Amino acid sequence: MKEKNPWHTPVTIIITVIGVIAIVALVTVAVLQNMPLLQKYKYGIVLDAGSSHTSLYIYEWPAEKDNNTGRVEQKHSCTVDGPGISSYASAPPKAGESLRACMREAEEWVPKKRHHETPLYLGATAGMRLLDMENKVVSDKVFEAVKGALEKSPFSYQGARLLKGQEEGAFGWVTVNYLDDRLKQGLETTGALDLGGASTQISFVSDNYDGSESPSNSVTFRLYGNDYTLYTHSFLCYGKDQAQRIRLAEHTQSGPKIVADPCSHPGYSETKKYSVLYDSPCVSDRKPQGAPETFDHTGTGNFQECQEVVKKVFNFTKCKYSQCSFNGVFQPILQGPFGAFSAYYFVMDFLNLTDTSITLEDVKEKLKLYCATPWSQIVQQHPKTKPKYLAEYCFSGTYILTLLIDGYNFTSVSYSDIRFIKKIKGSDAGWTLGYMLNLTNMIPAEAPDTPPLPYAGYVSIVTIIAVLIFILFLVSVRPLWPHCSKQQQIV
């Protein structure tokens, strides 16, 4: 006699099949109903009109998440050919024309159907701040020219304006901390060090700063449910191009024909015009009287002497606060870590000094060797680097160290808290992303509500519950099973 398997009866087979189909249907409906929709994206464009050049950034984020939860990322960037818009003071319409090629690139990168709803902003920084101080009528004409060019684009033009130094510093800080996911998670924040051509910014949160001392340096934010009191300061004229002018102005006060410069390589020699050197509000009041039209800028390549002349750019004597950085500007005790970007990165990357585990003493030693290298050898070793940049890396490296150590009071210990960065997770570090996030209200003041379960967890729980229900069902219909008792079926 052969025992028949009790499961092999028509009733149990039918129940099982129906049950399995029901479970599959239940899970499929639940999963499909809650599946993330096919990803669609939205875009935003910001033009950074800096003193030395203009860059265009395109940002992208998931369309259904622009209610503050989606991650904004840089999709593309374009460097405008030519100098910064402030250099078009003598021909303002050209400032508008200069943006054309990058605007066309933007039209290709942003899907056509999104053009009309893509916000477009232009923010001008220290170059235009200086032009505005020098000649407001001309700076307004430059703005009119860029506005005219941007209004013609198919994007939703939202304005071109001069950014305050404080905004530049604060939005750079927002960018770095947003990209590092520190704001959403409420983690300790990273300070931001930004070095441009005409200004430099320092921004950080310090436990010792509540905004009461020197309130003009404080910016408060409430982001994702956390309150931040940020210390920020922008030093106009302390970007590396203007600092170079101030330094050379020190050298040339008496209007000599030959300037022997310790911050340029031995063998370097270039004839320069006094009128060009002094053509900036940062130095115009120091213009030597009766100087010849030109001077010969020659190099001696001496790092120690370079440090001495660079230090003279800063005023360390007066401070009416509990503590200062330089020029009588209040600065609370540094609190790291710090991200240093823009020219900090360009210069330290060129000099192979982005690794801050290298001790400060070694950094100085390397810079000493670099500055002493003959100009002919430098040119030979870097045939692809722009001669203007190449001629200045000895000065720029020395300036960065002096600014950080003598200016901001970094020590040989806290120097290692600095990270020289260009990008964070594919997006450039700089003020533009923070500016756009602010203007589009993409960072909420309060923490956004999150679903109690992630999608994968939700699917697993639905599946487990469905299987349990089915098992319970099978157990409950057990009396219907033919010969489910201990009886054995006799075939």
Ligand X SMILES: Nc1ccn([C@@H]2O[C@H](COP(=O)(O)OP(=O)(O)OP(=O)(O)O)[C@@H](O)[C@H]2O)c(=O)n1
Radius of gyration of the chain (CA): 32
Interaction pattern, residues 117-146, with ligand X; x per rule: CB under 6 A: --------xxx-------------------
Binding ligand X by CB under 6 A: which of 239, 339, 397, 407? 239
Nearest residue (CB) to ligand X, 60 versus 241: 241
- Amino acid of residue 50: G
Q: How many helices (H) and strands (E) does the chain have?
A: 16, 16
Q: Are 345 and 354 in contact (CB under 8 A)?
A: yes
Residue 458: Cβ within 10 Å count = 15
Is the CB of 343 or the CB of 421 nearer to ligand X? 343
Peptide bond into 337 cis (omega under 30): yes
DSSP 179-208: HTTTTTTTPPPPEEEEE-SSEEEEEE--TT
Residue 200 is labelled as binding a ligand: yes
162 interacts with ligand X by CB under 6 A: no
Distance CA 170, CA 183 (A): 14
Give the C-alpha distances (Å, rounded to integers) separating 210 from 215, 286, 346, 448: 9, 38, 33, 26
H/E stretch holding 236 reads strand 226-236
185 a known binding residue? no
308 is catalytic: no
Specify the stretch interacting with ligand X by CB under 6 A; choose among 17-25, 301-309, 343-351, 432-440: 343-351
- Furthest CA-CA distance within the chain: 126
Question: Which residue from 46, 198, 237, 437 is in contact with ligand X, where contact means CB under 6 A?
Answer: 198
Interface with ligand X, residue 165, by CB under 6 A = no
Please report how close the Cβ of residue 200 comes to ligand X at its closest, in angstroms. Answer: 7
Nearest distance from residue 234's CB to ligand X, in Å? 9
Q: Determine whether the annotation assigns residue 328 to a binding site.
A: no
Q: Say whether residue 50 binds ligand X (CB under 6 A).
A: yes
**Of these, 42, 240, 251, 297, which contacts ligand X (CB under 6 A)?**
240
428 belongs to the binding site for ligand X (CB under 6 A): no
Residue of the chain from 191, 196, 397, 434 that contacts ligand X (CB under 6 A)? 196
Q: Check binding of 343 to ligand X (CB under 6 A).
A: yes
The answer to whether 199 contacts ligand X (rule: CB under 6 A) is yes
Choosing from 389, 405, 422, 484, the residue that interacts with ligand X (CB under 6 A) is: 389
Q: Is-contact 416 356, C-beta < 8 A?
A: yes
User: Which of 82/336 has CB closer to ligand X?
Assistant: 82
CA distances from 234 to 48, 171, 178, 192, 326 (A): 16, 12, 21, 11, 12
- C-beta neighbour count of 406 within 10 angstroms: 17
Q: Interface with ligand X includes 184 (CB under 6 A)?
A: no
- Does 434 help bind ligand X (rule: CB under 6 A)? no
Q: Is 289 annotated as a binding residue?
A: no
- Residues of this chain that bind ligand X (CB under 6 A): 50-53, 84, 125-127, 196-199, 239-241, 342-343, 346-347, 389, 396
Question: Which residue numbers are catalytic?
Answer: 168
